[in-house]
Amino acid sequence: YRQLAEESLSFPLAEDISSNSINGGITKLNESMESKKAEQLLVGMNPRSPGGKCCWVDAGGTLFSDVAELVVWLRSSNELAGNSFQQPEIFEFDHIHFDSSIASPVAILYGALGTECFREFHVTLVDAAKEGEVMYVVRPVLPSGCESKSGHCGAVGMRDPLNLGGYG
């Protein structure tokens, strides 16, 4: 999920993002694309926390780091139906909420389990999935800088290698 989280933060390009999304905390998206490409080559590195936020929702053409903006987007269901060309890609290994409607727009929650922002986004997206407004996908990631917000258990293996019995 780390690589997908990085890709989510690097697309859409900064000039394609609405001002609402930028004000929500995704302000670092206009960093040089060369540094983004170099960072993606570092296997096992956690994505950088976008604007100090530990959670965000990728809706294809828009990133949301604020629940209120996500709610406004969810309520504009007529506009959502026409944006199918910008739907994020779904993979076999993705965690898709069981109440999700396949015909609905895709909303992917990237976030650190155990954080307050994850809970807020999760509750909002579960309700939207139950109402058939969205296909809710969860991709748990712990961005760098969010370890203290997720608690001790959520940050296990973040700093030091995680040793598994019988594997070294």
Domain that holds residue 77: 2-154
If we measure between CA atoms, which residue out of 94, 88, 149, 152 comes closest to residue 118? 149
Top-ranked range on mean pLDDT: pick from 37-46, 86-95, 129-138: 129-138
> pLDDT of 74-124, one tens digit each?
988 656 555 555 788 888 988 999 999 888 999 999 988 888 999 999 999
User: What integer pLDDT is reported at residue 50 of this predicted model?
Assistant: 66
Any domain includes 38: yes
Has residue 75 been placed in a domain?
yes
pLDDT of residue 113: 85
> How many domains are there within the chain?
1
165 lies in some domain: no
Domain membership flag for residue 163: no
Is residue 159 in some structural domain?
A: no
- Say if 168 falls within a structural domain: no
Average pLDDT, the chain: 72
The pLDDT of residue 42: 46
The answer to the question of residue 164 being in a domain is no
CA angle 131, 142, 76 (to 5 degrees): 25
For residues 31-38, give the mean pLDDT.
Answer: 44
